[in-house]
Amino acid sequence: MEEPLIKEFNGIFYPSDKEISDYRYISFTLPEGYSSIEIEYSFEKEKKCIIDIGIFDSWKRFRGWSGSSKSRVYIDTTSATPGYIAGEMPPGTWTVVLGLARISDEGCRYRITIKMYKTGSRALSYEKCSYRCNEKTLPTPGSRWVKGDLHVHSIHSDGKDSVCSLISKALKLGLDFIAITDHNTISQLSEIEAVNCQEILVIPGVEISTYYGHINTWGREWFDFRRRSIEDFKSLVKEMRKK
């Protein structure tokens, strides 16, 4: 079995750190020829601390966010932990984003271990699914009431169901549409786009989740959730309306 290249980081955050910024950034170098990354992290949950995690690649592209719902995540060229986006793995400086959601008065220790492989370890590989409905007579076109849910989470954030499972449950409930709006990520979009089902409309979206409020947007765009001030939120609304 291939021996990974390992980088470790640890430290402690205090409430004063969060007062300065809600986010901290840890950079590491993915060398040429390495094509997969596995990240494990932990923090002092017993102190009621919450530290979220996400990642950007060396091209400054968003590659995923899992809040504090996953302690281990994996990304390579063809697969990734739900919440994270598989694809080209450019060498260079990658950045782990730590969200200081809740820091106890006495501080909160954290530890991060990053393992880099030249070949995919498949340690957390994830088989994506596409949904195909059974053939069924469609409703007659025309005006009618429809029912659905505009705010549903999947395993791509803190939900318990896959995209396929959500669709199956929605159909059993007789819903006409659902919007899958996972926290701060768009990794669910590829599965939504693979849905082949005329019985239900599956709307892609994102729940932009900040530490000062959440807002839903529907569509295929990712929006930066690192907002704090009133001006930050005004800018966000302008971006959403523009797109």
Q: How far is residue 203's CA from residue 180's CA, in Å, rounded to a whole number?
A: 6
Q: How many CB atoms lie within 10 A of CB 234?
A: 11
Collect the ranges in the chain with pLDDT lower than 70: 1, 120-127, 135-140
Residue with tokens 């669910």: 188
pLDDT at 124: 47
Q: How far is residue 93's CA from residue 82's CA, in Å, rounded to a whole number?
A: 23
Q: How far is residue 84's CA from residue 43's CA, in Å, rounded to a whole number?
A: 21
Q: How confident is the model over 78-134, as pLDDT tens digits? A: 899 999 999 999 999 999 999 999 999 999 999 999 999 998 655 444 557 777 887
pLDDT at 43: 97
pLDDT at 142: 80
Is residue 18 within 8 A of residue 100, CB to CB? The reply is: yes
Q: At 21, is the secondary structure helix, strand, or coil?
A: coil
pLDDT at 197: 86
pLDDT at 189: 93
Q: How far is residue 35's CA from residue 45's CA, in Å, rounded to a whole number?
A: 32
For the chain, what percent of residues have pLDDT higher than 90? 84
pLDDT at 218: 94
Q: How far is residue 171's CA from residue 133's CA, in Å, rounded to a whole number?
A: 10
Amino acid (1-letter code) at residue 183: H
Report in angstroms the alpha-carbon separations of 100 from 47, 52, 77: 14, 7, 29
